[in-house]
Homo-oligomer: A and B are copies of this chain.
Amino acid sequence: MFMAVTASEPERKRRKIRPRSERRQQLIDATIRCIAHYGLSSTTMQTVTREAGLSLGTANLHFDSKENLLNETLLFVTNEYNEGLLAIMNSEGIASLAGRLSLLLDFQLGPSVTQRHKMAVWFAYYGEAGARPVYQKICSRRDRAAAQRFEALFDSIIADGGYENVDAKQLAIGYLSLIDGLWLALLIGPKDLSKAGARAVAQAFLHQAFPRHMA
């Protein structure tokens, strides 16, 4: 006779069969934690699968190779970030231009994005990007997308605020670079810069550019 229950079992080390997408996410999450904890170079299939509570073979079953798993992990992190940005960018009906600017800053330097976890993963991939075209492509695509969106937003703000002598494109590059640099500062020297401090710096940057849209 078979049992119906699954969870309350006395932990019988049984081979649970779960949908493909769930397993994939489970492994990607574990990969992120491993990269943050051990670094990219010390993240092994062993480490990842143990962290995920799965067996070694399962990772290869779902991702074919370590390379693929790492690529997918980067893509996931990238998409998550992009979608976060996009959601705010597209909230025209809900928030004003100034409101959206503020929300974006809150998002980019907020608790979710600035978890050590997340930032560590970014820079782990950046560090290898110089040598791995795949990473470079994914990262630069993300950067370009963000730059274009911010440029468009800044254009709207410039038009809205009647700012003069402001180059939206240059500003977008500057702002996004600043954000990257602040992430790095938060990651490398957390004692020298608080999250609030980082936020203040970015806010000051935007205030300089758009005094009537950013406090």
A residues with CB within 8 A of B: 36-42, 116, 119-120, 123-132, 136, 139-140, 143-144, 147, 170, 173-174, 176-182, 184-185, 187-189, 191-193, 197-198, 200-201, 204-205, 208-209
Point out the residue from B124, B193, B200 that lies within 8 Å of A130, measured CB to CB. B124
Known contacts A144-B192, A174-B205, A204-B174; decide if A127 and B185 are in contact (CB<8 Å).
no
Residue of B nearest to A205 (CB): B174
9 interchain pairs (CB within 8 A)? A39-B132, A116-B130, A123-B123, A126-B184, A147-B192, A173-B193, A174-B178, A177-B184, A184-B184
| CB of A73, distance to nearest CB on chain B (Å) | 14
Contact in complex: B127, A39 (CB < 8 Å): yes
Residue of B nearest to A125 (CB): B127
The complex places the Cα of A3 from the Cα of B129 at a distance, in Å, of: 45
Asked whether A170 lies within 8 Å of B200 as measured between CB atoms, the reply is: yes
Cβ B197 vs Cβ A170 within 8 A = yes
Chain B residues, CB < 8 A from A177: 178, 180-182, 184-185, 201
> A126 contacts B129, CB within 8 Å?
no
Contacts of A119 in B (CB 8 A): 130
Q: How many copies does the complex hold?
A: 4
Kindly list chain B residues whose C-beta atoms are within 8 Å of the C-beta of A178. Answer: 174, 177-178, 181
Measured CB to CB, the closest approach of chain B to A152, in angstroms, equals 15
**Are A128 and B208 CB-contacts (below 8 A) given A177-B178, A192-B140, A201-B173?**
no
Smallest Cβ distance from A101 to chain B, in angstroms?
Answer: 17
Is the pair B174, A143 in contact by a Cβ cutoff of 8 Å?
no
Instruction: Determine if B123 and A126 form an interchain contact, defined as CB atoms under 8 angstroms apart.
Output: yes
A191: B residues at CB distance < 8 A: 140
Q: How far is the CB of A58 from chain B (nearest CB, A)?
A: 15
Q: How far is the CB of A60 from chain B (nearest CB, A)?
A: 13
Check if B174 sits within 8 Å of A197, measured CB to CB.
no
A200 neighbours in B (Cβ, 8 Å) = 170
A143 to B192, CA, bound (A): 9
Residue of B nearest to A128 (CB): B39
Could you say which residues of chain B place their CB within 8 Å of the CB of A188?
126, 129, 136, 139-140, 143
